[in-house]
């Protein structure tokens, strides 16, 4: 049977008479979903943190916003699966349960966002047009009851999606492809069209009408001179309301309306089938596919709604800064990464110009977040669920994956921090945790990569002995030992990582404060020797001996050994590239920069150049989070065969 979204058809069993070319979506959807994933995840995590930990008094609009945030976050976490699926040209390897769940979460997010945005508009309308009555009509308790009611309505009305969502194991671009329908199978499509039309009427058309009416009445009310009254407070209230109206209407007009209109046209044409020309059907299909990313983009717009329309975020940031300012007023001090200095005797004498990092670091960290998280989630899925026999190298790879994933999840905070030009709003505990995870990931990755190289070396140069030396039990014990070593040796980072006030901003040091820098330099030098220099030497020796062994003609007599040689060569290249491109430049330039800062007597231009180079190598170090997962793909044929076995 041909699939609903298939790009090819046959004359024998194809239930649709038109051949639709959809190759464009294999570029459009992965790229657009990747952008939504990056910005949506960063914005939603930031919004959730501020709402949960920085908002003292939850107003009804705050309650609707946190529910909106939950809708978006749940859906965003499914996007790596869709990115992989469409990039692999409609070949779904994750099973039918995950297929149903992801389609269900898409519509739950879609209609949950619509209903909660409608509640926000209605709440704002009551505040503007009926300010006195709204005090009794809209309170926190009623907002919570309404939110619970909305979740019940959505889950009940979207439950049929779990039935309609199906897979076809022989309907993709290739005969072996497994397709996860974004609608349903051909046999159920007529029922699905009726169902989706009813849901669209109840959960889009009616709420959209409410939003249009509420915002229209608000605009009319705000245009009355008596509303502004010449007072500064009422003027700010008016500006805030106008922002809310613009963002809500843009969300509906750009995200929801095009999607529903084009989907309705496409479904209707599919329902009529042979009564519609193939050119019209193909045009409708293309328009529908283009608007699907727009519907997902609401996950990026919704947090902006909170930041622009709500005052609690900015108020909490101001309160945090003022509190820190009063605590540090008696001991002002420039930071290690500061771009300005004072005449205090404890600050550095050179002024560092670091404006470039406010562009470089957010952009590079965003790329690492996107590709690193997608690759790590995919690798973790296959290691956990598609690998039957865990070899020692598999155990090291899953530990490497855990290192990378824990750190990647902290990147949205750093992206926000550097984009806001070194102004840290998340508190000192989070500052310490993120700096700690950076070094834990750094040295954990180095040690686990060294174990992988050592294991590969034993398998090639001492194949018989390695059967006894390297087994799963020993690999587990070694992994536990590495975690104990890394966590113990990196624990001082929790002490060295500090925050300081710099003018109106709060700086989260990526090193430490000036008073502790001498001790920090000694500590980092010892760590570099133990956790980088020694493992790097081990990796060079192991890979050198492997290359020598692989060049021996006697190693490649059989076809299987030839494949093993190619696999080993790929592993050697990737491991060495990881060390040479990610670890080595970072440690060399960091050492030079720290030494110049410690001496603090060189020409300021030299220090500035060293600082700039050091900042550039930091994103290279984080690129390891992507490189590590490439090793998982290259290292094992079981990873590749996992797709086929599904």
Count Cβ atoms below 10 Å from residue 299 Cβ, excluding itself.
28
E strands, 48-195, where? Answer: 167-168, 179-180
Q: Return d(Cα 611, Cα 596) in angstroms, integer.
A: 9
Same domain, 237 and 373: no
Count Cβ atoms below 10 Å from residue 85 Cβ, excluding itself.
23
Same domain, 579 and 513: yes
Domain count, the chain: 2
Same domain, 505 and 601: yes
Report the pLDDT value the prediction gives residue 58, as an integer from 0 to 100: 81
In terms of Cα–Cα distance, which of 537, 145, 188, 502 is closest to 351? 502
Collapsing DSSP to helix, strand or coil, 185 comes out as coil
Residue 539 lies in a domain: yes
DSSP code of residue 223: T
Alpha helices, DSSP H, located in 551-603: 559-578, 584-599
- Segments forming the whole domain that contains residue 523: 357-638
Q: Return d(Cα 347, Cα 401) in angstroms, integer.
A: 40
Name the one residue in this structure whose structure tokens are 């069209």.
193
Chunked into runs of 10 residues, the chain (646 residues) has average pLDDT values of 37 52 82 85 82 78 88 88 87 88 89 91 86 76 91 93 84 65 86 93 93 89 63 61 80 88 90 79 85 86 70 48 45 37 43 72 79 76 74 86 82 84 84 88 89 85 74 86 91 89 81 86 90 90 84 55 68 78 81 80 71 72 53 44 38
Give me the DSSP letters along 232-259. Answer: HHHHHHHHHHHHHHHHHHHHIIIIIHHH
Give me the DSSP letters along 284-330. Answer: HHHHHHHHHHHHHTHHHHHHHHHHHH-SHHHHHHHHHHHHHHHHHTT
In terms of Cα–Cα distance, which of 33, 27, 6, 12 is closest to 91? 6
Report the pLDDT value the prediction gives residue 12, as an integer from 0 to 100: 32
What does the block give as tokens for 520? 């920090």
For position 542, which CATH number holds? 1.20.1070.10
Report the pLDDT value the prediction gives residue 170, as an integer from 0 to 100: 59
Same domain, 536 and 437: yes
In terms of Cα–Cα distance, which of 417, 425, 395, 232 is closest to 313? 425
What are the distances in angstroms from CA 230 to CA 122, 234, 235? 26, 7, 7
343-369 pLDDT, tens digit per residue, is: 333 445 566 666 777 777 888 787 777
Give me the DSSP letters along 433-455. Answer: HHHHHHHHHHHHHHHHHHHHHHH
Count Cβ atoms below 10 Å from residue 27 Cβ, excluding itself.
11
Contact assessment for residue 527 and residue 590, using Cβ atoms and an 8 Å cutoff: no
Residue 10 lies in a domain: no
Residue 19 lies in a domain: no
Residue 340 lies in a domain: no
Q: Which of 254, 287, 314 is the last residue of a domain?
A: 314
Residue 338 lies in a domain: no
Report the pLDDT value the prediction gives residue 352, as an integer from 0 to 100: 65
Same domain, 134 and 257: yes
Same domain, 428 and 288: no
Report the pLDDT value the prediction gives residue 198, as an integer from 0 to 100: 94
Report the pLDDT value the prediction gives residue 301, as an integer from 0 to 100: 82
Report the pLDDT value the prediction gives residue 17, as an integer from 0 to 100: 62
In terms of Cα–Cα distance, which of 239, 43, 230 is closest to 128? 239
Residues 6+ apart with CB under 8 A from 305: 65, 68, 117, 120, 244, 247, 248, 251
Rg of the chain over Cα atoms, rounded to whole angstroms, equals 29
Count Cβ atoms below 10 Å from residue 646 Cβ, excluding itself.
16
Report the pLDDT value the prediction gives residue 310, as an integer from 0 to 100: 52
Residue 1 lies in a domain: no
152-206 pLDDT, tens digit per residue, is: 999 999 999 999 998 887 555 555 678 898 888 888 888 999 999 999 999 999 9
Same domain, 260 and 372: no
Same domain, 190 and 249: yes
In terms of Cα–Cα distance, which of 368, 341, 397 is closest to 608? 341
What does the block give as tokens for 385? 């669920």
Contact assessment for residue 65 and residue 47, using Cβ atoms and an 8 Å cutoff: yes
Same domain, 50 and 148: yes
Report the pLDDT value the prediction gives residue 199, as an integer from 0 to 100: 94
Same domain, 284 and 393: no
Same domain, 111 and 247: yes
Name the one residue in this structure whose structure tokens are 């727009």.
294
Q: Return d(Cα 306, Cα 471) in angstroms, integer.
A: 53
Report the pLDDT value the prediction gives residue 156, as an integer from 0 to 100: 94
Residue 68 lies in a domain: yes
Same domain, 173 and 83: yes
Q: Which helix (H) or strand (E) holds 98?
A: helix 96-129
Report the pLDDT value the prediction gives residue 308, as an integer from 0 to 100: 61
Residue 319 lies in a domain: no
């Amino acid at each position: 049977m041909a699939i609903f979204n298939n790009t090819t058809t046959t004359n024998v069993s194809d239930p649709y008479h038109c051949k639709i070319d959809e190759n464009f979506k294999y570029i459009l959807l992965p790229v657009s979903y990747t952008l939504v994933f990056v910005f949506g995840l960063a914005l939603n995590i930031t919004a959730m943190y501020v709402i949960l930990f920085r908002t003292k008094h939850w107003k009804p609009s705050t309650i609707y916003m946190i529910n909106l945030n939950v809708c978006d976050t749940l859906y965003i976490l499914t996007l790596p699966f869709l990115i992989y699926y469409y990039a692999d040209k409609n070949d779904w390897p994750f099973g039918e349960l995950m297929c149903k769940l992801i389609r269900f979460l898409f519509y739950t997010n879609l209609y949950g966002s619509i209903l909660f945005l409608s509640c926000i508009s209605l709440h704002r309308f009551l505040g503007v047009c009926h300010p006195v009555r709204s005090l009794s009509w809209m309170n926190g308790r009623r907002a919570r009851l309404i939110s619970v009611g909305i979740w019940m309505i959505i889950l009940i009305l979207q439950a049929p999606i779990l039935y309609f969502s199906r897979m076809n194991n022989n309907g993709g671009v290739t005969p072996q492809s497994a397709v996860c329908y974004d609608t349903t199978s051909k046999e159920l499509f007529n029922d699905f069209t009726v169902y989706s039309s009813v849901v669209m009427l109840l959960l889009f058309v009616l709420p959209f009408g409410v939003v249009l009416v509420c915002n229209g009445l608000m605009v009319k009310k705000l245009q009355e001179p008596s509303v502004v009254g010449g007072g500064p407070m009422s003027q700010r209230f008016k500006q805030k309301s106008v922002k809310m109206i613009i963002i809500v209407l843009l969300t509906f007009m750009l995200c929801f309306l095009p999607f529903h209109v084009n989907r309705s046209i496409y479904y209707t044409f599919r329902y009529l089938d042979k009564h519609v020309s193939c050119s019209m059907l193909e045009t409708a299909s293309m328009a529908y596919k283009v608007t699907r990313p727009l519907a997902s983009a609401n996950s990026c717009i919704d947090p902006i709604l909170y930041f622009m329309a709500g005052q609690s975020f900015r108020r909490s940031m101001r309160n945090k800064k003022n509190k820190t300012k009063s605590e540090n007023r008696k001991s002002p001090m420039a930071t290690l990464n500061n771009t300005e200095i004072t005449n205090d005797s404890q600050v550095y004498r050179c002024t560092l110009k670091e404006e470039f990092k406010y562009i470089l670091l957010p952009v590079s960290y965003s790329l690492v977040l996107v590709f690193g998280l997608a690759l790590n989630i995919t690798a973790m899925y296959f290691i956990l669920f598609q690998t039957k026999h865990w070899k020692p190298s598999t155990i090291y790879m899953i530990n490497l994956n855990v290192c990378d994933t824990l750190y990647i999840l902290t990147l949205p905070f750093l992206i926000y921090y550097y984009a806001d030009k070194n102004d840290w709003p998340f508190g000192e505990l989070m500052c310490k945790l993120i700096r700690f995870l950076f070094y834990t990931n750094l040295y954990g990755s180095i040690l686990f990569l060294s174990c992988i190289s050592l294991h590969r070396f034993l398998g090639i140069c001492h194949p018989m002995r390695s059967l006894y030396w390297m087994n799963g039990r020993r690999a587990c014990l070694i992994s536990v030992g590495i975690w104990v070593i890394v966590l113990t040796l990196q624990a001082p980072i929790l002490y060295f990582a500090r925050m300081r006030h710099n003018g109106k901003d709060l700086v989260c040091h990526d090193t430490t404060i000036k008073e502790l820098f001498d001790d920090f330099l000694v500590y980092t030098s010892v760590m570099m020797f133990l956790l980088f220099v020694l493992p790097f030497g081990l990796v060079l020796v192991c890979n050198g001996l492997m290359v020598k062994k692989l060049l021996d003609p006697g190693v490649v007599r059989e076809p299987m050994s030839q494949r093993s040689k190619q696999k080993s060569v790929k592993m050697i290249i990737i491991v060495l590239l990881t060390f040479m491109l990610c670890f080595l430049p970072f440690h060399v330039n960091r050492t030079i920069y720290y030494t110049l800062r410690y001496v603090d007597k060189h020409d300021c231009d030299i220090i500035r150049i060293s600082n700039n180079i050091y900042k550039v190598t930091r994103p290279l170090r984080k690129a390891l989070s992507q490189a590590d997962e490439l090793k998982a793909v290259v290292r094992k044929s079981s990873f590749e065969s996992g797709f086929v076995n599904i």
